[in-house]
């Protein structure tokens, strides 16, 4: 009895000591509510992903983004059985499992919460409010803390898993933090480092938007023992793509080398002292063509040096270029990566091409794409077919299985890593697919085509979305939004426009903007021209009785909606894309949503709304689309609208000029304002007003990206007086109030009538 009393006494003393250490910045306290602090240490470094595997290789947890659920799947002994599907928040994005397999933590992007799942009872136990649009999440090796990247509020929330409360918030001096990875140093004890990616690269001071070498990627470093400040910033530079471009029309040569900068970095994985970031790199200088504009980078940095690894970053597309086997399949939209534990081999997920590509890294950490012998004495890049739009991958500790989450098909591909070559073994349905023929099925079909570089159609046609699977619509519009890149289109420099403001949220089938900055399209179906002319695909509009492309496709006349087209899942392909765009493109949640209206910020936002109205901003940005640009005419042939063809040097572009506004952003002397005939680009007639819906999330601003911030936008006097009101916004206090209102605009903001 005395011995048991002594044991209890010493346990109490230990608990009190640990609690004291926690309050002084030491190890977190032991708690019955947190089995993660009982000495259980994760085997591997933690990283954000829509799919996670437990340390004992028995359980998968999968975030079903489109269903608002997570699924638990038993994979022990290849059982591959779905155990449960649990409702969480809206748009779950990333999931982690604690080292003891007691809990899973799931970020819910739209809800602004992290759901906590009790894995034993298979129930959600709580939701933790964090910042706006939480995306990535990772755990410290002891499971005591979770770090959450809040992409819309540009912060990282720190969750204490013992109490399931937010104990700290770190401001990230970047744009849309997304991917998170945490080291597992010193046996998982002591100081660890947290790495957070900036999703959208931004122009450099010495570069600028629209230039191949004008922007750079960033990774922010945080110490788990000092959350008060950023410990370092890793810069990821532009690199030679390995491809040349004919830039004679732009004053160059017919074989100019091209560079690209890393972009869309939403995943980061650590391996042997290196960080690996798959991303969709951008080469924005003209000509805007599939084998120039988007590239498939795997960027690499040195963990200890906190800098990009010299010679480490590679272009996966370049490896496909050198293969001799035909047809080639390029590796569009690299989205995730995972490595085997006992070897230097890994697998990069090509989200748009529906494959994994195998890589290996040398002793210095430099990756190489693996090629293998193919038919007829040829070679090809080693790829593994999975299912539709893969976005996450994990590998078990035995290195025998890889598990790949497929976003569109809502399933998990189980890949046998012991086979030669590796191959998909089975698929596990993670969430239910919609009923055939339903509106939900139509939306999903449109989502599939938007995110595919290939396409599979009911008529048996394939590979229609781009040349050799090079890119998808989502390559420039991730999840239907914007990649933040200013591209050198024929009409001039044009920043990618997010599609969330294309249709009115209140009346999506009857209220649509005129499209593009220069009002050169009036139907989404007009982007058939981009599929063909930019991406090099055969497209979706076909001749009757065949699958051959109909050559008579142009803007305005004849209308492209309702034309004979390929089908997917029983739906006309373009109809499905339009339906998805009308109903499923998300609008980022403002970090100001829910602010107390009586607070200083709340009052300032209200004042800014009044100033918006007084300045007549609604003349261009009124209504539910937050843009007065409106298709208010019939789409028929002959076309009822006047199309301004322009005079030299603006020919041959046709514009609906009555929708254009002069806003003081066109600079005809800029070398960027050139089209592919080396002539002046469109702009002197003005620009089609873009939507302000969630405008805070999409820097840089204006058609040419000339403003990196909204503050800069309000400094443009011509623009701020476009509504005809002069002097009001000369007052800095008025501009500041208007700025805060602009940052508050999201789908929940009451529109201002024009």
Residue 547 belongs to some domain of the structure: yes
Residue 301 belongs to some domain of the structure: yes
Distance CA 554, CA 645 (A): 14
pLDDT digits (tens, 9 = 90+) for 317-360: 999 999 999 999 999 999 999 999 999 999 999 999 999 999 99
Provide the angle, in degrees to the nearest 10, between the axes of the packed helices 732-744 and 600-614.
Answer: 100
Which pair of structure tokens corresponds to residue 625?
A: 């689309």
- Percent pLDDT > 70 in the chain is 94
41 and 24 in a common domain: no
Decide if pLDDT at 484 tops 90: yes
Q: Which residues does residue 158 pair with via DSSP β-bridges, in sequence order? A: 147, 168
End-to-end CA distance of the chain: 82
Residue 595 belongs to some domain of the structure: no
682 and 651 in a common domain: yes
Is residue 115 a contact partner of residue 27, using CB atoms and an 8 Å limit? no
Q: How many CA atoms lie within 13 A of 467 on its CB side?
A: 14
Residue 490 belongs to some domain of the structure: yes
Decide if pLDDT at 648 tops 60: no
Q: What is the pLDDT of residue 18?
A: 37
pLDDT digits (tens, 9 = 90+) for 443-464: 999 999 999 999 999 999 999 9
Q: How open is the CA angle 477-683-517, to the nearest 5 degrees?
A: 25
Q: What is the pLDDT of residue 584?
A: 83
Distance CA 547, CA 539 (A): 10
652 and 579 in a common domain: no
Q: What is the pLDDT of residue 628?
A: 97
Is residue 215 a contact partner of residue 201, using CB atoms and an 8 Å limit? yes
Overall number of domains in the chain: 4
Mean pLDDT calculated for residue range 691-698: 97
Distance CA 168, CA 543 (A): 60
99 and 179 in a common domain: yes
Backbone phi, psi, residue 704, to 5°: -110, 10
Q: What is the pLDDT of residue 4?
A: 37
Mean pLDDT calculated for residue range 250-276: 95
Q: What is the pLDDT of residue 38?
A: 63
576 and 707 in a common domain: no
Q: What is the pLDDT of residue 205?
A: 85
Last residue of a domain, one of 433, 464, 490: 433
Last residue of a domain, one of 433, 468, 498: 433
Is residue 425 a contact partner of residue 404, using CB atoms and an 8 Å limit? no
Decide if pLDDT at 92 tops 70: yes
676 is in which domain, residue-wise?
600-744
Residue 534 belongs to some domain of the structure: yes
Alpha-carbon dihedral sign for residues 584, 587, 589, 592? negative
Alpha helices in 488-599 (DSSP H): 528-533, 573-584
Q: What is the pLDDT of residue 679?
A: 78
Task: Look up the pTM and report it.
Answer: 0.93
What average pLDDT is seen over the chain?
Answer: 92
Q: What is the pLDDT of residue 39?
A: 77
Which pair of structure tokens corresponds to residue 311?
A: 């010679």
Residue 10 belongs to some domain of the structure: yes
Contacting residues for 28 by C-beta, under 8 A, at least 6 apart: 18, 22, 34, 37, 142, 144, 145, 160, 162
Give the domain CATH number at 345. 2.130.10.10
353 and 268 in a common domain: yes
Q: What is the pLDDT of residue 290?
A: 87
241 and 98 in a common domain: yes
548 and 514 in a common domain: yes
702 and 620 in a common domain: yes
Mean pLDDT calculated for residue range 168-177: 95
Q: What is the pLDDT of residue 22?
A: 35
Q: What is the pLDDT of residue 293?
A: 95
Distance CA 97, CA 309 (A): 30
Decide if pLDDT at 260 tops 90: yes
pLDDT digits (tens, 9 = 90+) for 577-622: 999 999 989 999 999 999 999 999 999 999 999 999 999 999 999 9
pLDDT digits (tens, 9 = 90+) for 33-84: 444 556 799 999 999 999 999 999 999 999 999 999 999 999 999 999 999 9
Distance CA 188, CA 725 (A): 61
428 and 400 in a common domain: yes
Residue 363 belongs to some domain of the structure: yes
Q: What is the pLDDT of residue 674?
A: 80
101-110, 245-254, 269-278 — which is least confidently predicted?
Answer: 245-254
pLDDT band at 251 (very low <50, low <70, confident <90, very high): confident
27-41, 627-641, 726-740 — which is least confidently predicted?
Answer: 27-41
469 and 414 in a common domain: no
Mean pLDDT calculated for residue range 263-286: 97
318 and 220 in a common domain: yes
Query: For tokens 């208010």, what's the residue?
Result: 632
pLDDT digits (tens, 9 = 90+) for 287-307: 888 889 999 999 999 999 999
Which pair of structure tokens corresponds to residue 400?
A: 């025998």
Give the domain CATH number at 676. 1.10.760
pLDDT band at 646 (very low <50, low <70, confident <90, very high): low
Residue 592 belongs to some domain of the structure: no
Last residue of a domain, one of 554, 584, 614: 584
Q: What is the pLDDT of residue 7?
A: 39
Decide if pLDDT at 115 tops 60: yes
Mean pLDDT calculated for residue range 486-500: 93
Mean pLDDT calculated for residue range 658-676: 89
Contacting residues for 601 by C-beta, under 8 A, at least 6 apart: 592, 595, 740
């Amino acid at each position: 009895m005395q011995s048991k009393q002594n044991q209890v006494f010493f346990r109490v003393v230990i608990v009190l000591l640990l609690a004291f250490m926690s309050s002084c910045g030491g190890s977190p306290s032991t708690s019955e509510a947190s089995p993660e602090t009982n000495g259980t240490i994760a085997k591997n470094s933690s990283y954000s992903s829509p799919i996670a595997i437990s340390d004992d290789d028995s359980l998968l947890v999968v975030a079903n983004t489109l269903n608002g659920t997570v699924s638990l799947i038993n994979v022990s002994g290849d059982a591959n059985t779905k155990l449960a599907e649990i409702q969480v928040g809206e748009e779950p994005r990333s999931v982690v499992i604690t080292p003891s397999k007691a809990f899973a933590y799931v970020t819910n992007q739209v809800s602004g919460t992290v759901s906590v799942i009790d894995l034993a009872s298979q129930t959600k136990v709580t939701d933790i409010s964090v910042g706006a649009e939480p995306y990535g999440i990772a755990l410290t090796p002891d499971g005591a803390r979770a770090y959450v990247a809040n992409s819309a509020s540009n912060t990282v929330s720190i969750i204490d898993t013992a109490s399931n409360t937010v104990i700290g918030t770190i401001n990230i001096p970047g744009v849309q933090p997304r991917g998170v990875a945490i080291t597992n140093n010193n046996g998982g004890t002591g100081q660890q480092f947290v790495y957070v990616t900036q999703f959208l690269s931004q122009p450099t001071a010495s570069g600028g938007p629209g230039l191949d070498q004008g922007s750079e990627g960033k990774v922010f470093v945080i110490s788990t023992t000092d959350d008060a400040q950023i410990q370092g910033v890793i810069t990821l530079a532009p690199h030679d793509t390995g491809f040349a471009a004919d830039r004679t029309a732009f004053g160059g040569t017919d074989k100019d080398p091209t560079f690209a900068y890393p972009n869309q970095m939403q995943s980061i994985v650590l391996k042997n002292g290196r960080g690996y970031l798959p991303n969709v790199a951008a080469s924005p200088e003209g000509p805007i063509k599939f084998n120039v504009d988007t590239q498939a980078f795997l960027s690499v940095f040195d963990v200890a040096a906190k800098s990009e690894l010299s010679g480490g970053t590679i272009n996966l597309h370049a490896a496909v270029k050198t293969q001799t086997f035909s047809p080639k399949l390029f590796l569009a939209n690299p989205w995730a990566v995972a490595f085997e534990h006992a070897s230097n081999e890994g697998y990069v997920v090509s989200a748009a091409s529906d494959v994994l590509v195998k890589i290996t890294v040398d002793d210095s950490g430099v990756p190489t794409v693996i090629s293998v012998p193919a038919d007829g004495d040829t070679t090809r890049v080693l790829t593994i077919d999975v299912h539709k739009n893969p976005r996450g991958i994990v590998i078990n500790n035995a290195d025998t299985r890889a598990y790949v989450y497929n976003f569109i098909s809502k399933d998990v591909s189980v890949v046998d890593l012991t086979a030669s070559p590796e191959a998909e073994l089975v698929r596990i349905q993670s969430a239910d697919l919609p009923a055939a023929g339903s509106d939900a099925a139509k939306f999903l079909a449109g989502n599939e085509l938007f995110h595919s570089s290939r396409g599979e159609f009911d008529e048996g046609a394939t590979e229609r979305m781009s040349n050799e699977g090079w890119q998808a619509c989502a390559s420039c519009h991730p999840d239907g939004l914007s990649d933040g890149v200013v591209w050198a289109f024929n009409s001039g420099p044009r920043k990618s426009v997010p599609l969330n403001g294309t249709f009115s949220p209140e009346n999506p089938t009857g209220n649509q903007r005129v499209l593009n900055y220069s009002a050169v399209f009036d139907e989404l179906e007009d982007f058939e021209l981009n599929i063909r002319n930019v991406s090099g695909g055969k497209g979706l509009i076909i001749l009757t009785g065949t699958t051959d492309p109909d050559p008579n496709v142009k803007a305005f006349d004849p209308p492209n909606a309702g034309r004979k087209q390929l089908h997917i899942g029983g739906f006309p392909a373009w109809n499905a894309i339009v339906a998805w765009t009308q109903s499923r493109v998300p609008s980022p949640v403002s970090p100001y949503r829910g602010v107390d209206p009586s607070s200083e910020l709340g009052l300032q936002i209200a004042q800014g709304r009044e100033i918006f109205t007084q300045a007549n901003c609604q003349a261009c940005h009124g209504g539910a689309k937050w843009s007065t640009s409106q298709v208010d005419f019939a789409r028929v042939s002959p076309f009822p609208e006047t199309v301004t063809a322009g005079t030299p040097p603006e020919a041959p572009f046709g514009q609906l000029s009555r929708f254009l506004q002069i806003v003081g952003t066109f600079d005809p002397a800029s070398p960027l304002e050139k089209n592919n005939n080396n002539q002046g680009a469109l702009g002197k007639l003005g620009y089609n007003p873009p939507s302000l819906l969630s405008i805070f999330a999409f820097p840089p601003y204006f058609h040419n990206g000339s403003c990196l911030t909204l503050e800069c936008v309000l400094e443009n006097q011509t623009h701020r007086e476009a509504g005809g009101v002069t002097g009001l916004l000369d007052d800095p206090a008025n501009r500041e109030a208007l700025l805060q209102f602009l940052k508050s605009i999201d789908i929940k903001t009451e529109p201002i009538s024009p």
